[in-house]
């Protein structure tokens, strides 16, 4: 059977300046710019195969083994329509190109981390979907151009089309033409960046981010100040910190911005609580680590859920992981090379925070800054020659 396919992986990203608020919900245009670190696909990634064939009768999507409806998801159809349109333009310019834009798509996607881990998977998922279809269609558009499309799937997805340190510039245009992701620095500029994901709970988050941010925009008085004044200043300060590889400045901004994001959630009515007691214990743990170490060596950040992500650099890995071993030695996620690492705390560390951290964390993921989406050989794809998931 006549079958075309392309497979790609795309990374998870964790923001250090948070996207929270839409000025246009349909096009997913944000009220402020944001900036994230792309994490390594060795540890966290979405793997997606996009295929098309003249024999397919409808667009279909399988997510982690379960078929989802394409037609009822306006976010999915927006991405697919945009990509088809670009393919149709390419076919018009090149009459010998096969008419893939007229074929239906079968898309199959899997995460290599448990959805139950409560990690935002929509960013990696939509980025992989857009990248895979763009590759299938052999589109000449750059990652930056494609970020315009991924953004419509999920805002944060636009930042997962590039490795390293990536900003999403909010733009001004009503049609969203200038609301795009840009690489601030590649992975190779600051490869020493590490991230520890402390998984707090496998429960589904209480308020989905889309609904949460809409409520914040509508009801929070603090939010306008954040969007208009605080974030623009922090975006330039963060870009400078990354360019200069200034971890203390990076960490300071990261923690402040996470705290302010959760402050505007609290200022929403009714208030939104994403952090729980364990999250707050992790905050105290990192603050205490920095205090007792005598310098800022670690930074916490939280998205729309209780999981804690801690950024640090390889230079301080022993201190950070040594302290985590004190409370998390018995949970899943330690690597072979960490076996020899001794549990230890900096002198003067107030160990009262340790119990709450050790009781509340269920799993650890140790990872680092990573690269661009990766194109995968056809035989490793998720769709077989019959056009269905393998």
Contact residues toward ligand DP6 (CB under 6 A) are 15, 18-20, 28, 34, 120, 122, 154-156, 209-210, 303-304
3-state secondary structure at position 90: helix
Q: How would you label 122-140 residue by residue, b for 16+ Cβ within 10 Å and e otherwise?
A: bbbbbbbbbbbbbbbbebe
Place of tokens 């948070």: 18
* Cis amide bond preceding 270, omega within 30: yes
Closest approach, Cβ 336 to ligand DP6, in A, equals: 31
Place of tokens 């402050």: 263
* Residue with Cβ nearer ligand DP6 (207 or 366): 207
- Continuous H helices in 14-158: 74-93, 122-136, 143-153
Find out whether 64 and 109 touch, Cβ atoms under 8 Å: yes
* Residue with Cβ nearer ligand DP6 (34 or 254): 34
* Residue with Cβ nearer ligand DP6 (37 or 139): 37
* Residue with Cβ nearer ligand DP6 (283 or 327): 283
Closest approach, Cβ 304 to ligand DP6, in A, equals: 4
Closest approach, Cβ 147 to ligand DP6, in A, equals: 13
Nearest residue to ligand DP6, by Cβ distance, number only? 155
* Residue with Cβ nearer ligand DP6 (74 or 269): 74
Residues 6+ apart with CB under 8 A from 316: 293, 297, 298
* Residue with Cβ nearer ligand DP6 (15 or 193): 15
**Burial class of 9 by CB neighbour count within 10 A (0 to 12, 13 to 18, 19+):** buried
* Residue with Cβ nearer ligand DP6 (305 or 333): 305
Closest approach, Cβ 293 to ligand DP6, in A, equals: 28
Closest approach, Cβ 52 to ligand DP6, in A, equals: 26
Find out whether 102 and 57 touch, Cβ atoms under 8 Å: no
Q: How far apart are CA 20 and CA 30, in angstroms?
A: 7
Closest approach, Cβ 382 to ligand DP6, in A, equals: 23
Closest CA to 38 of 191, 202, 159: 159
Find out whether 91 and 99 touch, Cβ atoms under 8 Å: yes
Closest approach, Cβ 154 to ligand DP6, in A, equals: 3
């Amino acid at each position: 059977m006549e079958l075309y396919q392309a497979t790609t992986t795309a990374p998870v990203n964790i923001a250090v300046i948070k996207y929270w608020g839409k000025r246009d919900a349909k096009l997913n245009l944000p009220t402020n710019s944001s900036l994230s670190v792309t994490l390594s696909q060795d540890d966290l990634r979405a793997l997606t195969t996009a295929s098309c064939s003249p024999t397919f009768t409808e667009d279909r999507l399988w997510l982690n083994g379960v078929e989802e409806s394409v037609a009822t998801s306006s976010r999915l159809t927006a991405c697919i329509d945009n990509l088809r349109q670009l393919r149709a333009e390419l076919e018009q310019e090149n009459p010998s190109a096969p008419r893939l834009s007229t074929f239906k798509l079968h898309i199959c996607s899997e995460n290599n981390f448990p959805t139950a881990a409560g990690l935002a998977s929509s960013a990696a998922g939509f980025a992989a979907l857009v990248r895979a279809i763009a590759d299938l269609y052999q589109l000449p558009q750059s990652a930056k151009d494609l970020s315009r499309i991924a953004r419509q799937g999920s805002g944060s997805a636009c930042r997962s089309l590039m490795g390293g340190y990536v900003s999403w510039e909010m733009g001004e245009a009503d049609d969203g033409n200038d609301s795009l992701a840009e690489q601030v620095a590649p992975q190779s500029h600051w490869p020493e960046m590490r991230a520890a994901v402390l998984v707090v709970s496998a429960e589904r988050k209480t308020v989905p981010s889309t609904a949460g941010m809409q409520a914040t925009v509508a009801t929070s008085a603090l939010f306008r100040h954040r969007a208009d004044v605080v974030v623009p200043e922090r975006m330039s300060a963060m870009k400078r910190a990354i360019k200069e590889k200034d971890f203390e400045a990076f960490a300071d901004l990261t923690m402040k911005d996470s705290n302010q994001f959760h402050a505007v959630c609290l200022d929403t009515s009714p208030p939104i609580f994403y952090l729980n007691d364990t999250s707050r214990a992790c905050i105290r743990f990192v603050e205490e680590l920095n205090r007792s170490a005598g310098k800022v060596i670690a930074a916490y950040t939280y998205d729309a859920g209780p999981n804690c992500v801690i950024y640090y650099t390889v230079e301080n890995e022993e201190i950070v992981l040594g302290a985590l071993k004190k409370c998390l030695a018995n949970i899943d996620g330690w690597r072979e090379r960490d076996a020899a690492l001794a549990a230890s705390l900096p002198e003067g560390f107030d160990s009262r925070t340790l119990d709450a951290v050790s009781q509340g964390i269920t799993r650890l993921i140790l990872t680092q800054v990573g690269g661009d989406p990766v194109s995968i050989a056809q035989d490793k794809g998720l769709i077989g020659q019959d056009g269905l998931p393998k």
